[in-house]
Amino acid sequence: MTGTERRKKLLNLMRESKTPLSGGALGSATGVSRQVIVQDIALLRTEGYSILATARGYLLEEPADTMRLFKVFHDAAATEEELTTIVDLGGCVVDVMVNHRVYG
């Protein structure tokens, strides 16, 4: 197994795990020493992966794709304030729908 293949396997193992994986456990799963795992984790971090090292092992931090639908009732004057508030609090407005009394 090449280093690139091993690092892909490490990412897959961390993605599938709900609990931290120790360097020793990752080493056993990939057939290398814990020190090689430490080096691989450092390389993965330089590639932009957010890997958290805890006392119990490594966790891959991936952003959760959460989408929420808000149904509101207000006049046109409050629309800008509502959208600004969502964005200021870290949200992203994907779509805006208008339900018109006559046109639907």
**Rounded (10°) angle between helices 3-16 and 23-30:** 120
For domain 3-60, the CATH class is mainly alpha
Ordered by start, the domain boundaries in the chain are 3-60
Residue range 26-68, pLDDT digits in tens: 999 999 999 999 999 999 999 999 999 988 999 998 766 667 7
pLDDT of residue 25: 96
Alpha-carbon separation of residue 79 from 53, 69, 93, 100, 102 (angstroms): 43, 15, 12, 15, 20
Q: Which residues of 90-102 are buried (b: 16+ CB within 10 A; e: fewer)?
A: eeeeeeeeeeeee
Q: What is the pTM of this model?
A: 0.60
